[in-house]
Chain A
C-alpha cells in the first residue's frame, strides 16, 4: 500500500499568517493517464470532510483562493496564504492513483 506521510501533525497558526502542510507519498503518484491523483480535504470539527483541492492544484468550487496546492512526484504541499478562523480543523491528503487508495494521517490546524 502507498503510505502517505503528513507533517506536521499539529500546526498552531496566527490569524492572518501563512500556513503550510506537507504530504509525502511512498511511491510516485502519476497515473497511466498522465494525471496525478492527489487530493486535499478539510474536516472541520463535527463535520464531514470536504474536498478542497484535487489533481494536486485544482481548487474546488467555493474554496477561497488563499488555499493552494502544489508539488509533484512524491512531495506535495497545501498552503494557506493568510489563515482565517474558519480554516481550523484537520487537513488530510489522499492519493487516488494506486489501489488501495490511502489517506495521510492528518494535520490539525488551530489558532494560537
Chain B
C-alpha cells in the first residue's frame, strides 16, 4: 500500500518562505503525476499545484501562481513544494496526493500557519 508522509510545516511570518516535502513509499513514484492540495482550518479542499511524472510540466492554482514551486526527485521518491511570499490566507493543512487528474492516495498532511 502506498504511503505518503508530508513534513516541513510550521509557523512562519507573512512574507516568509517554507519548503514542504512528501516522502513516498510503496508506489512506483516515477510513473505517477503528483499534486498538493490544501485545506484551511474548517474549510473545504483547494487544489494548489501539480507536476507530471517526469517533472517537466507543472501546474498551479491562480492563488499561488508565481509564489509556489512544485518539484520532485524521482531518485529519492520525494515531492516538494517551495512556498515563498507567504500570506495569512495560505494558512492550511497541506496534503500530498498521488495523482493529478485522478487524485488517488492522500497523506495525513502538514500544517502551515502564517501569522505575525
A interface list, Cβ under 8 A from B: 1, 31, 37, 39, 41, 43, 48-51, 54-55, 90, 92, 94, 96-97, 99-106
How long is the Cα–Cα vector from A101 to B102 in the complex, in angstroms?
Answer: 10
Known contacts A55-B102, A101-B101; is A106 also within 8 Å of B44 by CB?
yes
Interface of A is mostly: loop
How long is the Cα–Cα vector from A49 to B62 in the complex, in angstroms?
Answer: 23
Across the interface, do A54 and B61 meet the contact criterion of CB distance under 8 Å? no
Assess whether B113 is interfacial by the CB under 8 Å rule: no
Across the interface, do B109 and A100 meet the contact criterion of CB distance under 8 Å? no
Known contacts A48-B95, A55-B102, A96-B100; is A103 also within 8 Å of B45 by CB?
yes
CB of B102 to closest CB in A, whole Å: 5
Assess whether B35 is interfacial by the CB under 8 Å rule: yes
Known contacts A94-B45, A106-B44; is A51 also within 8 Å of B59 by CB?
no
Q: How large is the interface on B (under 10, 10 to 19, 20 to 34, 35 or more residues)?
A: 20 to 34
Assess whether B73 is interfacial by the CB under 8 Å rule: no
Across the interface, do A1 and B100 meet the contact criterion of CB distance under 8 Å? no
Assess whether B32 is interfacial by the CB under 8 Å rule: no
Across the interface, do A100 and B106 meet the contact criterion of CB distance under 8 Å? no
Q: Which 4 A-B pairs have the closest CB atoms?
A: A96-B101, A101-B47, A37-B101, A100-B61
